[in-house]
Structure 1
Amino acid sequence: MRIMGLDVGDKTIGVAISDLMGWTAQGIEVIRRTNEEADINRLAELVDEYQVEKIVVGLPKNMNGTLGPQGEKVQIFSTLIKNKLSLPLEFWDERLTTVAAEKLLIGADVSRKKRKKVVDKMAAALILQGYLDRQSNM
């Protein structure tokens, strides 16, 4: 079963896909957000292309575990995704995934310009990989 991981932001959506066995996550795309309909239509195209059966969305929480304004936006957008694509959708705590992605890219000596282009899909891959790892340990 293939699973899609999403890192939803105000300007971009990082997208990652699992392998067919559900062991590894790979970042595939950064969607530049224009409007909700176009964003969801692009996600639907990727769901069809990769035959996705489940979506995992990174849920941004405050460091104390509470949900802030960005988390609420992500929940609202995720409801639209779930309704439009009719797929199971789960949330994954995404605290510090973008920071971790940025550190990985810096460690790999990726230039600031290139980091900006890929950090969101790498964050999506980290979100999805965390979810996959938890599933395999259950």
Structure 2
Amino acid sequence: MKIIGLDVGSKTIGVAVSDPLGLTAQGLTTIRWDEQDIYSADEQIKKIIDEQAIGKAVIGLPKHMNGSIGERGEASEAYAKHVEEVHGIPVVLWDERLSTAAAERVLLEADMSRQKRKKVIDKMAAVMILQSYLDQDKYKGV
């Protein structure tokens, strides 16, 4: 079963998908959306779920460093509930603290220009979120 990873922002949603075995995450795309219209990305998300045979979603949950959940975290929780209801797949909220910073660091190390980084940062953050979930899942019970 493939898993979709989503980094949900106010203007874009970074998308990553796992391989069928759930070992690796690959960046797929960045979807532009209007957070004020929670339905605005549904068509694109549905297309990916159908084409990739997705069975589960992992959505980044931004937390403050002290572990509390603020406005962005509440928005992610609302979107996770929406994805479950509209697309009919289970959703896991995954702590994404520092995922965007880690993605930025990787892209800087790759010597990518600021303009190019801006285009792929959300997709890369989705990869980081999904990969950390997959890594944790692999070692459960070890």
**Common topology (TM > 0.5):** yes
Unaligned runs of 5+ in 1: none
TM-score, scaled to structure 2? 0.95
| 1:78 to partner: Cα distance | 1.4
Runs of 4+ in 1 over 4 A off after TM superposition: none
Q: What is the TM-score of this pair, normalised by structure 1?
A: 0.98
Q: Which amino acid aligns with 1:119?
A: I
Q: Which moved more, 1:60-69 or 1:36-45?
A: 36-45
Match of 2:99 in 1: 97
Q: What residue identity is the alignment partner of 2:17?
A: I
Cα deviation for residue 61 of structure 1 reads: 0.2
SS at match of 2:14: strand
Q: Classify the secondary structure of the residue corresponding to 1:21.
A: coil
- 2:38 is matched with 36
Q: Pairwise CA RMSD of aligned residues?
A: 0.7
Q: How far, CA to CA, are the matches of 2:71 and 2:13 in structure 1? A: 17
Q: What is the CA deviation profile of residues 6-64 of structure 1, one whole-angstrom value per residue up to 9, with x for unaligned ones?
A: 00000100000000110000010000113322312211110001000000000000000
More helix by share: 1
- Asked if residue 108 in structure 1 is aligned to residue 110 in structure 2, the reply is yes
* Deviation per residue, 1:65-86 (Å, 9 max, x gap): 0000110011111111110001
Aligned partners of 2:18 and 2:24 also within 8 Å: yes
Overall identity of the aligned pairs, in %:
49
Aligned residues: 138
- The one of 116, 134, 139 equivalent to 1:132 is 134
1:86 partnered with 2:92: no
Match of 2:49 in 1: 47
1:93 offset after TM fit, Å?
0.2
Gaps spanning 5+ residues in structure 2: where? none
C-alpha distance in structure 2 between counterparts of 1:59 and 1:43, whole Å: 18
Q: What are the Cα deviations for residues 97-117 of structure 1, in whole angstroms up to 9, with x where unaligned?
A: 000000100000000000000
The aligned counterpart of 2:2 is 2
